[in-house]
Amino acid sequence: MDIRVAVIGAGSWGTTVAHLCAHNAPTTLWARDPEVAAAVRTRHQNPRYLAGYELHPGLDASADLAGVVSGADLLVMGVPSHGFRQVLVELRPHLRPWVPVVSLAKGLEQGTRKRMTEVVDEELPGHPAGVLTGPNLAKEILAGGAAASVIAMTDPGVAESLQAIFHTELFRVYTNTDVIGAELGGALKNVIAIASGMADGLGTGDNTRAAVITRGLAEITRLGVALGGRPETFAGLAGMGDLIATCISPQSRNRHVGEQLGRGRSLEEIIEEMNQVAEGVKAAPVVVSLAREVGVEVPIAEEVRAVVTEGRSAREAYRGLLRRPRTSEQRLPR
């Protein structure tokens, strides 16, 4: 394939997506740290985030942002939401016109509350913007486990052309035109994953976790539809699929944060010892703000917000949920 791919951000997921793309197209991974770039380029490993996992031998890497971006036919943004806009600003002078931009970030921008494709539209006008999202745990994919994902672009033709770049024998990629729903599914599920982790940390059992996941999906769907997504997207890989994986996997950073909170540890202590970002911590207050604005009830997200911003304990959060008034399960999304 003649398309040249630039993946920006050498965290666990950015590196994994670069590894997948390298099966189908010339791919270069940008790492801010020259040592990480050198390790990927010469040893085919990312020892900082994916120690012990082999990367595609054809994957190149560099710490030269301008050099990586200038030759790209496809730009893949593997940068967390809090640094997403700044990196776009840095690379903008070096990106050729009309190059598609695909976000891997599962978060919302602080302050503006914008999705990452909205940030792309603002900073890189004229570039088709979309998202690759789904139940994708990096280490499982690198270990050879089968997985599936969604490439969402408003133009189905562009989505289909990009589908072939990410698709491999064990990584199945579906297309979707609901960019709003796909992005919101990825961002909103992180908040529910913190709640699921808190249940595990409190030792409440599988019944509670199943209830949190199910009612969490109802919250995600209600809010996502109110913000412009389609209900069927939240029932698919970008919604339910991603939610299940993130809520139950020991590899999930957001679930880990919740579990540790459930065990009584402070958020500051938990975050300090992590070397990666748990997007749900920053997303919780943003999600609650959006929900209040459109008049959608998100009781689980409300409790998670109180835990991460007000210091409420996980046990108090679950007591708050149990005190909620009785209602019907069959309320339709507004």
Give catalytic residues, as residue numbers. 189
Q: Which amino acid is at 42?
A: T
Contact 184, 115 (CB under 8 A): yes
| CA dist., res. 108 & res. 118, Å (int) | 10
Contact 77, 116 (CB under 8 A): yes
The residue among 275, 334, 311, 301 whose CA lies nearest residue 190 is 301
Contacts of 211 (CB under 8 A, 6+ apart): none
Strand, helix or coil for residue 334: coil
| CA dist., res. 334 & res. 317, Å (int) | 25
* Strand stretches in the chain, DSSP E: 5-8, 27-30, 60-62, 74-77, 101-103, 129-133, 147-152, 171-176
Contact 101, 120 (CB under 8 A): yes
Contact 132, 103 (CB under 8 A): yes
SS3 content of the chain, % helix, strand, coil (to 5): 55, 10, 35
